[in-house]
Structure 1
Amino acid sequence: MDYFLQGRHWAGVQRALGHNVHEQAGDGWRFLAVEESNPAGKLLYVPYGPLADSLAAFDSALEALVALARRCGAVFVRIEPVSAGFDNAGFDSSAADTLLRSRGLRPAPANLQPELSWIVDLDGDFKDVLAGMKPVNRNLYRNIHKKGVSFRSSRDPAEISVLLEFLHLTAARNGFKPQSDEYLSQVARSLMPAGAATLFIAELEGSPIAAALAYDSDDTRTYAHAALDDTHRKLSAGIPLLVTLMADASEKGLQHVDLWGVAPADQPDHKWAGFTAFKKSFGGRGVSYPGTWDLPVNKLRYGAYQLARKAAQAGKKIVRTLRGRLRR
């Protein structure tokens, strides 16, 4: 798979947002690194990267990242090695932890991108993809037009306002904070005219009732943002909207649709459990990644950052304990 967050179009998004971006490649490896900052100071973040086709190539990418970090004055490098040659070397996911630690990497405080994702492969005829879905999904896709619902796609950045409106409604209804309008509008301005992002819109008799934004890499379409008008929830337009997005990807010759993050199978109460059941209803397969890891470059400053972070966490725990006792 080609990971969108390591592509040139995403580099353009980050530059438009004001970040310094570095792109390097070597024999069997490449990476896109974004300069960011946190309480430790400057860091290099490599979302879903570096990409490498062997362990030797992965080690070369790490060397290049450390050299770049030193030139930039970064305290550490934060990576998400979704493709680091593990499989080629015969390592399974359970061995990735040992392998990464042996190279001086440490687990980051939290995973920034999903550690688990759900992929629908588009090999062969799209009829085979439909056959792998739940019957209700197929039936809605084939018959919802009878209820006056139609679908269209757009690469006009101005139409991102359709999705933003539905995201606001969903956030107010479910009590979460969506990404800012400014951020998503800039993503649309950078990606949609370049053909790297497409907005799919479901309409009831000409009025939008649901929307989904997808990002494209060379071989994969990523289902990134979606929301709907709760007034028409009973139509379940989000299901045929996603199938339409997948059918369009198949027509364009893409090989995969990445439905993005899902919850672990052994955590039925996970906050993503509902989204996960929805995504799995389209068929497909799960993939797991090693997660987010830090590679200290300035070890003294990184160590101080870790100590300060742990002290802050301990302080918060004490405050929560005291508040709990006062309520009794």
Structure 2
Amino acid sequence: MIQVREIEDRKLWDDFIKTRKPHSFLHLWEWGTVQEILKQKILRLGIYDGNRLVGVALLIEIGSRRGKFFFCPHGPLLDWNQPALLSELVAAIKKEARLRRMDFLRFSPLEKKSELRQRQLRELGFRPAPMHMHAEMVWLLSLDQDESKLLADMRKSTRQAIAKAQKAGVIVRSSSDIHDLELFERLYSDTARRQQFVPFSEEYLQAEFTIFSSADKARVYSAEYQGRVVSGALILYTDTEAFYHQGASLPDQATFGASHLLQWTIIRDARLRGCTFYNFWGVVPPEKHDHPWSGLSLFKRGFGGFSEEYTHAHDLPLRFRYWGAWAVESLRRMKRRL
């Protein structure tokens, strides 16, 4: 018999996540804790087949002007080839959502994009969301190879930029100290103003870094040139993977390859840590030349690797108010050219 129950046992949750090895950190116990620090209510649900845990779903209760909804980031994590598991989970979440007067549910599945997965969601009443919430196409680099092979598989210009930075005397440092995060935050804010994107708040970055670094799952990297921090990155970790979650740089760093050396140092450190993948996080398809992320995606692809595309975020409307949220997000997507 399939049942859905709340999970309060961290070890139970962590042990299940380790068996799944998802290409995401968004279902780690720490991610739920970050949301709680940010004053978001969460639910950690387990799907059981008898007494055996066969799936989990982290739900974040989001309340905003566009509506109130449950969001499941890069989840739920279960065997999607067993439709009954997904069906029972959705039924349980709908029941709880109606008690909390939610307007809709939103899933961002970590399932490879396919007509089968989209059909499964449609049959349960879901429809494509107006916007994505997290990366739906990521760039992955397998670290199960030696450094010479990693370098050989890079784009020639990427290797040249790394060598140029080394010759120019660029120094890369890493830290788990909150004071070093403050240096990154200043660079990040400057990057957001210059490139005209909406940055995460200092509170958000500090909560993320504090919780993950306390479990040895976060480091902040900085590249220095002639005494200035010119490029930086916030890296998160699971047991098997390193994630390039946040990045920032000064515009002149490209002339001496600081960001390339920064990434190469992160990759080398991730190998030493025992990671099997480095996840560059979100990219856009190569043909989308006019997309705001086109240049950054080109930079990431220069290190070699491969892409994975996941099922687009889907919504399950519960109240008429959903359509107001749909209209707002649709307009926002068009304005941002996403």
Determine the C-alpha separation between the residues in 1 that align with 2:327 and 2:95: 31
What is the match of residue 175 of structure 2? 154
CA pair 106-38 structure 1, distance change in 2 beyond 3 A: farther
1:74 matched to 2:95? The reply is no
Q: Can you give the 5+ residue segments of structure 1 that lack an aligned partner in the other structure? A: 87-91, 321-328
What is the match of residue 3 of structure 2? none
Choose which of 243, 260, 277 in structure 2 pairs with 1:256. 277
What is the match of residue 322 of structure 2? 305
Partner of 1:169, secondary structure, is: helix
Shift of 1:99: 2.2
Name the aligned partner's letter for residue 82 of structure 1: L
Do 1:40 and 1:75's aligned partners in 2 also have CA atoms closer than 8 Å?
Answer: no
Within 5 A, what are the aligned runs for 1:223-262?
223-262=244-283
Do 2:286 and 2:298's aligned partners in 1 also have CA atoms closer than 8 Å?
Answer: no
1:55 matched to 2:81? The reply is yes
Choose which of 41, 46, 62 in structure 2 pairs with 1:36. 62
Choose which of 315, 325, 328 in structure 2 pairs with 1:294. 315
Name the aligned partner's letter for residue 238 of structure 1: S
TM (normalized to structure 2)? 0.81
Deviations 1:45-93 (A, max 9, x none): 111111112332333433343344245443322111113xx7xxxxx61
Shift of 1:154: 0.3
Deviations 1:279-320 (A, max 9, x none): 111111111111111123xx3x2x3431x4567799x8xxx9
Q: Can you give the 5+ residue segments of structure 2 that lack an aligned partner in the other structure? A: 1-20, 48-52
What is the match of residue 306 of structure 2? 285
Within 5 A, what are the aligned runs for 1:1-328?
1-2=21-22, 3-26=24-47, 27-39=53-65, 41-56=67-82, 57-83=85-111, 93-142=114-163, 144-296=165-317, 299=318, 301=319, 303-306=320-323, 308-309=324-325
Deviations 1:185-243 (A, max 9, x none): 22222222321211111122444221111111222211111112334431120011011
Do 2:75 and 2:110's aligned partners in 1 also have CA atoms closer than 8 Å?
Answer: yes
Partner of 1:28, secondary structure, is: strand
Do 1:214 and 1:222's aligned partners in 2 also have CA atoms closer than 8 Å?
Answer: yes
Partner of 1:264, secondary structure, is: coil
Shift of 1:131: 2.1
Determine the C-alpha separation between the residues in 2 that align with 1:58 and 1:182: 34
Shift of 1:120: 1.1
Determine the C-alpha separation between the residues in 1 that align with 2:325 and 2:70: 19
Name the aligned partner's letter for residue 104 of structure 2: F
CA pair 129-61 structure 1, distance change in 2 beyond 3 A: farther
> Over aligned residues, Cα RMSD in angstroms?
2.5
CA pair 107-139 structure 1, distance change in 2 beyond 3 A: same
CA pair 122-270 structure 1, distance change in 2 beyond 3 A: same
The percentage of counterpart residues that share the same residue type is: 30
Determine the C-alpha separation between the residues in 1 that align with 2:167 and 2:160: 11
Deviations 1:142-200 (A, max 9, x none): 56333221111100112112212212222332233322222212222222232121111
Do 1:157 and 1:192's aligned partners in 2 also have CA atoms closer than 8 Å?
Answer: no
Determine the C-alpha separation between the residues in 1 that align with 2:286 and 2:212: 34
Do 2:221 and 2:234's aligned partners in 1 also have CA atoms closer than 8 Å?
Answer: yes
Deviations 1:249-283 (A, max 9, x none): 11111121111111123322222111111111111
Partner of 1:290, secondary structure, is: coil
State which structure, 1 or 2, has the greater radius of gyration over its C-alpha atoms.
1
Name the aligned partner's letter for residue 62 of structure 1: V
CA pair 248-68 structure 1, distance change in 2 beyond 3 A: farther
Shift of 1:34: 0.7
Name the aligned partner's letter for residue 54 of structure 2: G
Partner of 2:33, secondary structure, is: helix
Do 1:16 and 1:190's aligned partners in 2 also have CA atoms closer than 8 Å?
Answer: no
Do 2:166 and 2:261's aligned partners in 1 also have CA atoms closer than 8 Å?
Answer: no
TM (normalized to structure 1)? 0.83
Partner of 1:198, secondary structure, is: strand
CA pair 219-144 structure 1, distance change in 2 beyond 3 A: same
